[in-house]
Structure 1
Amino acid sequence: MSEPNKRRYYVNDKAQELREMFGRTGNGPLAGIIVADFARVLAGPMATMMLADLGATVIKVESPGGDDTRSWTPPKRGEDATYYLSINRNKVDIVLDFRDAEDLALARELARRADVLVENFKPGGLKKYGLDYDTVAESNPTVVYSSVTGFGSHNPMPGYDLLVQGLSGFMSITGSPDGEPQRAGVAIFDVMTGLHTTIGILAALQHRSNTGEGQKVDTNLLSSALSGLANQTSAYVAGGVVPKRMGNAHPSVYPYQPFETGEGELIIACGNGTQFAVLAEACGHPEWTTDPRFAKAGDRNANREEFQPLLLEALSHRSAQEWYEVLSAAGMPCAPINTIEQGVQYAERIGLEPVVEVGDAARTIPTVRNPITLSKSPVSYDLAPPALGQDDEAVRRWLSESWD
């Protein structure tokens, strides 16, 4: 076994003690992994919460002013911003002021002990503190160092999701054709970058397990956006087509959008010929399936302006709820347009148990369930999102104790 791997097994023994000290339970696949979380706002904390749910011991480092999202209100739960609560469960918390020599020494020691370090400072922002990748890797060569930026590690532009929604082209395809460009109702590329960051970290940990080598993982919002735009960026890159806003319509599939019914709107998602046959039969027009204008997917898409009045007329004879029941029973993919409240309630009705409470009697917070289900090493929900500096004394004591 190589020396780095020997050290890592030795460290994992102590990491297990740390895990138990902070009340982590279960046998998650990342149990024994220590994560130094120098990230704030959304993309970085999303990634570190995913790692924490999978069993890692995540130590969240905050400035004296705290994570920006602590003050992003409303809404609130008590004194806590629900934004902050959404991405910080299962973490312990310490306040470190990098301008203070003793605090900076503790930050460097945490970086030296960590299996994973996650940061989303402006490119080069941690170098003056000796917390950049090159400096950290000198004392911790097996570290997986994850850097999240807006536009790449060479570009100092601050990365905000709204900027990337505009710059990537996302807003140009979002909204009605004759309306203004629209942003998504959530910071979609922050979330996506957080998930890409998690994937990168897990891949780097597997590489380290195989070779004993640490490495740097770089992710950025713009690259995640262009990747996440999938068929829309491919339309330009591979097809030379610049996509435009189409409202709720799909550029390649029809019918695949909300439609007016006799009362309310219903989403119909017809992805293949079998589903179209079900829709035609339910609407009382089986002849649609043999009409050369509509029989094949490409024909339906090309002749949507001819088909839509026929479909709307058929749908006008029942309400959205009635059509939902009829079409669902026939196996046709369809859905109402719910509020967030209705969406959570629907997930509860179909047995997905979307809400999990974390914490103890003194502080219990309802949070949204991690979407990953593992049959052998399930995620765990131990710690409520921490108050600012709530574990300060314990983490400082641990960092001051002998490690090697």
Structure 2
Amino acid sequence: MIKADSIFKDMLVLELASVLAGPSVGQFFAELGANVIKVENAATKGDVTRTWKLKSEAADTDTPAYFCAANWGKTSLALNLTEEHDLQQLYQLVKKADMVIASYKPGDAKKLKVDYETLQCINPRLVYGHITGYGPHNSRAGYDAVVQAESGFMYLNGEADGAPTKMPVALMDILTAHQLKEGLLVALLQRERTNEGQLVQVSLLDAAISALANQGTAYLVAGQEPVRMGSEHPTIVPYGSVYTTKDQKQLVLAIGDDRQFTKLCAILSNPDLATDAKYKNNYSRVQHREELHVILSGLVALHQRDELLQELHRQYVPAGAVNTIPEVFEMPQAQAMLLQCQNAKPGIRQVAFQLQGQELLPLQPPPAYSSSDKV
């Protein structure tokens, strides 16, 4: 059996990042056993998300829900890096560190003397991950909502006859965090072979563009400009389509092939629909999506949602309930993703994979803001 603390047990990570992308990478390594020190800006009283509070949250809390989304398992250390004493304190930590996670605008890290070149001279084995908005040569600050707009995600999101719509989570930050995790893990592997550290750079815009996937190649390869389609899929029907059942609940269908469509039609007591020339294969269904949607809407509306879903699942037809967030966290799988600690509200794990024989560590809840010089 692999010990739970063996993956990154002796790793020291310094987090010079704020908001969501960088901190979620820090929490990822904390969950895998690393000692993560969140170095917060004493001049601004810490990570700005300590001030991002819901209407229902107390005005004096410094660990609101947003901050708790990405800061479990860390120690807080407030430093003013423009002060020589504080900078030297950071340098002492850098000597022992394995990794730095930073999210400065291009040029700011160098002004503060915490850029990769400076810190690499102190510790040649240092792996340094740097997040920017638009790359190392563009001084614009990166904001998720703006990058959603500029990368095409907002244009594609929303109903066909509606306005471009921002997604309800900072998905560009999350995509960037995943890209940085991958880069840092590759850099750690390379360090094992060369004993040398490395700079890993990722921008919100690059991460967003790389995630356009089939929507991007629809334009690049097929010459078709993607448009807003609500929850519909441009090349599969019905896939992502939302239907309302007899009890006024909603479900989504994700029919990936003709065999699944045949089963769906049989379950809906209309097997002849699967042999109709207009619907018998996916290509035909794409051509006639609107009229098929009307037919399926009428058929689904004859059933109770839970009973229909039970039969769809029994016959391996891809479908699911449209859950509220409270309903999501009632699911056993969601419960297993929660970070639990006595006297603290639950958090969400950043590590979603499982290794054989490996249990994830329990973590301390997100740290209160600390101006102490002890870590």
**TM-score normalised by the chain length of structure 2:** 0.92
> Displacement, 1:218?
0.3
Choose which of 337, 341, 346 in structure 2 pairs with 1:366: 346
Q: Where in structure 2 are the equivalents of 1:70-219 lying within 5 Å? A: 70-74=50-54, 75-76=56-57, 79=61, 80-219=63-202
Q: Where in structure 2 are the equivalents of 1:251-400 lying within 5 Å? A: 251-256=234-239, 257-262=241-246, 263-345=248-330, 347-348=331-332, 353-358=336-341, 363-369=343-349, 370-389=351-370, 392-395=372-375
> Displacement, 1:111?
2.4
Contact 1:54 1:378 in 2 (8 A): no
Partner in structure 1 of residue 5 of structure 2: 27
* CA displacement, residues 82-101 of structure 1 (integer Å, 9 cap, x when unaligned): 11011001111111011221
* CA displacement, residues 313-351 of structure 1 (integer Å, 9 cap, x when unaligned): 222212333322332233222112111111111x22x58
**TM-score normalised by the chain length of structure 1:** 0.86
> Displacement, 1:352?
5.2
Count of residue pairs brought into register by the alignment: 365
Provide the C-alpha distance between the structure 2 equivalents of 1:31 and 1:274, rounded to a whole number of angstroms. Answer: 49
Amino acid at match of 1:40: S
**Unaligned 5+ residue runs, structure 1?**
1-24, 396-404
Amino acid at match of 1:122: K
Contact 1:90 1:384 in 2 (8 A): yes
Contact 1:108 1:130 in 2 (8 A): no
Verify: 1:61 aligned to 2:45, yes or no: no
Contact 1:324 1:335 in 2 (8 A): yes
> Displacement, 1:371?
1.4
> Displacement, 1:367?
1.2
The share of aligned pairs that are identical, in percent, is: 33
> Displacement, 1:81?
0.6
Provide the C-alpha distance between the structure 1 equivalents of 2:86 and 2:357, rounded to a whole number of angstroms. Answer: 40
Provide the C-alpha distance between the structure 2 equivalents of 1:224 and 1:351, rounded to a whole number of angstroms. Answer: 26
**Alignment root-mean-square deviation, CA:** 1.8
Contact 1:28 1:377 in 2 (8 A): no
Contact 1:111 1:131 in 2 (8 A): no
Verify: 1:45 aligned to 2:23, yes or no: yes
Secondary structure, in 3 states, of the residue corresponding to 1:186? coil
Secondary structure, in 3 states, of the residue corresponding to 1:394? coil
Secondary structure, in 3 states, of the residue corresponding to 1:76? coil
Amino acid at match of 1:41: V
Provide the C-alpha distance between the structure 2 equivalents of 1:252 and 1:242, rounded to a whole number of angstroms. Answer: 13
Q: Bigger shift: 253-262 or 186-195?
A: 253-262
Provide the C-alpha distance between the structure 2 equivalents of 1:339 and 1:264, rounded to a whole number of angstroms. Answer: 11
Given the superposition, is the C-alpha separation of residues 28 and 301 from structure 1 closer, same or farther in structure 2, using an over 3 Å criterion?
farther
Amino acid at match of 2:52: W
Verify: 1:248 aligned to 2:231, yes or no: yes
Amino acid at match of 1:295: K
